Structure 1
Amino acid sequence: MGCSNSFFGKGDCISVDPSCGFAELLPLLSNLPNSKNTWEYEEGEELSGGQGMTSYNFTSKAYLQFPAQLPLSKISDFTVGQSIFDVAWENSSTGQLDRRGLGPIFNANSCLACHVGNGIGRVPSGPTETMLTALVRLSGNSNGSPDTNYGGQFQPFSLSGVPAEGKASINYTQINGSFQDGTTFTLRKPSVEFSNLNYGPLDANGEIYSLRNTSKVIGMGLLEALSDTTILSLQDPSDSNSDGISGRINLVPDIESGTEKIGRFGWKANEPNLKQQGSRAFLEDIGVTSPLFTSKNCTSAQTACLSSVHGNLPELSQTKIDIMVKYMRLIAVPARRTASSPDVLAGKKIFFQAGCTSCHIPKLKTGTIAGSPEISEQTIRPYTDLLLHDMGEGLADGRPDHLASGKEWRTAPLWGIGLVSTVNGTLQLLHDGRAETFIEAVLWHGGEAEKSKQYVLKLSETDREYLIKFLESL
């Protein structure tokens, strides 16, 4: 990148040119006077959400918390917004007036139905299991355009009198391998089969689909508060420093402003802010319209859907959208546990030495957001760069999304990942839930992360356990 850096203070502060990439920064950090190794314990490392947005509940309700120091007025905002996020929507003709608008075709009847406990969903373990908290994205061609008959997302449920789109079933192919020490492992690769299609065939010119599990809903206000300058400083689209990492932003339409903005949310960073992300999810997942998405999610082939009774359009008012967005911005991040223990620090060293921090950036600082001191100027530890990276053929879905190619995915934030099993009773990682352990998730990495995967394949069993303990502490 050709960035320049200036250092000041006692080795604990660094001023960075915006063109400088984190990968270039790591060698410089190790040469700072009086600096520690980057994998040693750092004071305040437990505060994943910074001083303003860290919580200390480590139970099954760990992802449902507001930060401890939140003022009473904002606790009220959190509580009211949570009710909109959690409420079950109902039939437009028979439901309660303030809840009418479900469907006519849909994936779930509330946000919480898929984001269980504000955590992940559960992908079916086989073809006989009904898909309840995951979904399938569709494209009719390699350009990413929606399927002619079924749109951009498959809807397996519907209201009475409207045929659902059909059924999606999951099968798995087993892939066997071994570590350098001879320990064997088995990975599972999902595939989707469609049946009982009620609106004709899927597009004949090579239908592209992408199985998607839901992700954690924590710390989103902090990610939204990162400045564009911070995100841009992390990208290196042409890999000018030849480290094999070429992360780049996704530029996506901001419907409200009519401009393009940096994508921050979604598996392919296809949404620029929480208002648009939440509004689109209401339409595509629940079938509820809003000021940004005023038309029902029906294709021209779905005549019963188009002619069905709707709620008052838009069914979700701007006031309720704004309240829900306030809630999403205030969901705290659980503090880390045992961050300074020797085993965790040994795993942290392995994480750094494997090169994982080239994409999973450990520490960032948010910008200044007027009226929101809890998310402003916070030193956070999300372990993401919010950039798109080529993850190789193994994880490729072939489905582009704005600038994102069929092999690119946004770096998933790792904060709170150690509590997924506690909250959800299952550990299903990556975009489609195929990985059932932390190590399996690493072993699916390819493309820009191939070197990191190869590093892990050479680890001893003891070192693999250290790596797991580090990830469990996040």
Structure 2
Amino acid sequence: MRSAFFLAFVLAACTSAAWAGGPQRADLSQEERQRVRRITAPAAQFDRAESFEAMQGGAGTVRKLINPDIFSHPAANLDFEGRQDFMVGNGLFRKDWVSSPSSTQASDGLGPLFNARSCQACHVKDGRGSVPGFDPLQQNDAVALLLRLALPDTAQEAQDRLKRAGNVLIPDPVYGHQFQPFAVPGLPAEGEIRISYQENPVGLNGEEAAVLMVPSYRLESLGYGPLHPDVRVSPRLAPPMLGLGLLEAIHPDDILANAAAARGDGISGKPNWVLDPDTGERVLGRFNWKAGESSVARQSARAFSGDMGLSSPLFPDHYGDCTSVQEACLAMPNGAQSHLGEHEVPGRLMDLVTAYALNLALPQRRNVEDERVLAGKKLFYEANCIGCHVPKYVTRRDAERPEHRFQLIWPYTDLLLHDMGEGLADNVEEGEASGREWRTPPLWGIGLTRTVNPAATWLHDGRARTLLEAILWHGGEAQAARDRVRDMTPAQRADLIRFLESL
């Protein structure tokens, strides 16, 4: 059925105009490469939807009732065994972990310092997290927003770091790689996160100015003394979990082709290369806000370690981000059980969580034939938003999991790093990402963000309360596209937002 689905699309799409760019992929024959070029060429007509455009997750797309659980379904093309693993992984993703020792031995080992007790606490219903600060009553609710800590690179430190471990940041000597506002009983937390905002009006053609919220961060009630005077703080909001396995199945040649494209539009995306610890080779990063992880498995294991202090085969340290200065943290008991192995999250459990994360389904798009949505899509193209938010790909034929193979998908990302300007800069270098560069986030599912989490906001730190605010924060390489949106008529901006809300 998966092959029949794709073949039907190929036969329908082969009349599209040829595209000069496109893949040079070893997993495809020359004839298939030509077909894929045609299929993934940018749209040229906007009076009707493209073939299979509503099926943004390929054959795995789900047709379900739109409700707060719409992001939590398994891919439609999972087989029976895959669905079983998905359901068990779902339970592990949602369960709360507790400190050691505990009578619930299969769930202990939390911390000792941590940001959350479960994956679900940050990725609300598998969607975006929420940030405190907009509502004074939520000031202490910073579960889904973590703060990366990093010291600035010297030229030599940067070179050594890239050779040694790809994307490892230089941590604060006391507080480590990220600030953790929670701790197990008997141990001080690292402190409290406070966020305040200043209003910054931005003029719009034909209507009242939009008001952007400029965040500032304070770390208070520090539990282990002062931070390093040169430490830099990078806030990171938990992103949605949709389609991660399909993003992993995009062929590297397709991503690098976008990096190499000579377009003359001021956009110059670049890859972030990270070290594969198993092979020692540099591989393409494609996950997290700065493309600092190469696979869903490593991203998931790093979150268990850094966010919850739980060891796994990929990150075997039982104490997460505890530093050598935090002696009391290192003296706390861990949750490893001899009958389950040496890790708090044994390999089989980690595999199940990864299987879940790989196969959260994309919902079918809505209103793809609506006249105003199509007008907004045309404006999206004309503003050159597709210079970074590349609409579509055909995944690799030799993807590791069969449900991800040879699928037409519509994620609207190039998975590359782009200079987004000083307004969004965090001044933290991560691998080959500068302090002004961020990975293009996928847009699929963005229109259902508030359906899943009514308190959700946008951008890497949640500062944008609306999709229009998120656009108006774009700078650097995206400044020209942002200015085109600013200069649109109110009706055109409304159509553009309608298009985004259809994704």
TM-score over 0.5 (shorter chain): yes
Unaligned 5+ segments in structure 1 are: 1-7, 21-27
Q: How far off its partner does 1:140 sit?
A: 2.5
CA spacing shift, 1:172–1:361, aligned 2, 3 Å? same
Alpha-carbon separation, structure 1, partners of 2:324 and 2:243: 38
Is the counterpart of residue 199 in structure 1 residue 224 in structure 2?
Answer: yes
Which structure: greater helix fraction? 2
Determine helix, strand or coil for the equivalent of 1:374: helix
1:275-286 equivalence runs, <5 A = 275-286=297-308
For residues 73 and 207 of structure 1, the distance between their equivalents in structure 2, rounded to whole angstroms, comes to 47
Q: Is the 8 A contact 2:110 2:117 kept in 1?
A: yes
Give the corresponding residue for 2:232. 208
Residue pair 1:53, 1:66 contacting (<8 A) in 2 also: no
**Structure 2: 5+ residue runs without aligned partners?**
1-12, 26-36, 155-168, 337-341
Task: Give the drift of 1:245.
Answer: 0.5
User: Residues 64-89 of structure 1, C-alpha deviation per residue, up to 9 Å, x if partnerless?
Assistant: 01123432221101101111111111
Q: Decide which moves more: 140-149 or 448-457.
A: 140-149
Quote how far apart the aligned CAs of 1:42 are: 0.6
Between the aligned partners of 1:269 and 1:321, the Cα distance in structure 2 is: 21
- 8 Å contact kept, 1:136–1:209: yes
Match of 1:266 among 274, 288, 294: 288
**Which residue number corresponds to residue 466 of structure 1?**
495
Letter of the 1:72 counterpart: F
In 1, are the aligned partners of 2:249 and 2:399 still within 8 Å (CA)? no
In the TM superposition, 1:160-179 aligns within 5 A as 160-179=185-204
Of 246, 249, 252, 2:268 maps to 246
Secondary structure of the residue aligned to 1:333 is: coil
Residue pairs, 1:94-109, within 5 angstroms: 94-109=102-117
- The aligned amino acid for 2:495 is Y
Partner of 1:288: 310
2:132 corresponds in structure 1 to 124
Aligned position for 1:159: 184
- The alignment-based identity, stated in percent, is 42
State the match for 2:353 in structure 1.
324
Contact 1:88–1:110 (Cα < 8 Å) also in 2 = yes
Q: How far apart are the structure 2 equivalents of 1:399 and 1:332? A: 32
Out of 318-327 and 369-378, give the one that drifted further. 369-378
- Check 1:450–1:39 CA distance in 2 against 1; reply closer, same or farther (3 A cut): farther
2:46–2:377 Cα contact (<8 Å) kept:
no
Match runs of 1:222-241 below 5 Å: 222-236=246-260, 240-241=262-263
Give the letter aligned to residue 136 of structure 1: L
Q: Could you state the TM-score of these two structures normalised by the residue count of structure 1?
A: 0.91
What's the TM-score, normalizing by structure 2? 0.86
Q: Does 1:383 align with 2:412?
A: yes
- Distance in 2 of aligned mates of 1:86 and 1:369: 31
Tell me which residue corresponds to 1:133: 144
Contact 1:268 1:408 in 2 (8 A): yes
Contact 1:140 1:207 (C-alpha < 8 Å) held by counterparts: yes
Return the alpha-carbon distance in structure 1 between the equivalents of residues 153 and 495 of structure 2. 41
Moved more, 278-287 or 294-303: 294-303
Could you say what secondary structure the match of 1:169 adopts?
A: strand
**Further displaced range: 323-332 or 48-57:** 48-57
CA distance in 1, matches of 2:426, 2:224: 24
- Who is 2:57 aligned against? 49
| Structure-to-structure mapping, 1:303-314, within 5 angstroms | 303-312=327-336, 313-314=342-343
Contact conserved, 1:256 with 1:292, CA < 8 A, in 2? no
Any idea what SS the aligned residue of 1:187 has? Answer: strand
**CA gap 1:195/1:9 in 2 versus in 1, 3 angstroms:** closer
Compute the displacement of 1:158 (Å). 0.3
**Do the aligned partners of residues 278 and 118 (structure 1) sit closer, same or farther apart at CA in structure 2, a change above 3 Å counting?**
same
Q: Secondary structure at the match of 2:434?
A: coil
CA RMSD of aligned residues (A): 2.1
What is the SS of the residue equivalent to 1:51? helix
Spell out, residue by residue over 1:33-57, the C-alpha distance to the aligned partner (whole angstroms, 9 max, x if none).
Answer: xx84267411211001012344434
Name the aligned partner's letter for residue 234 of structure 2: S
Is 1:417 aligned to 2:424, yes or no?
no
Which of 2, 16, 20 is the equivalent residue of 1:11?
16
AA at the equivalent of 1:447: G
Distance 1:53-1:180 versus aligned 2 partners, 3 A rule: closer
Partners in 2 of 1:169 and 1:104 — Cα distance? 22
Distance 1:194 1:36 in 2: 50
* Alpha-carbon offset, residue 256 of structure 1: 3.1
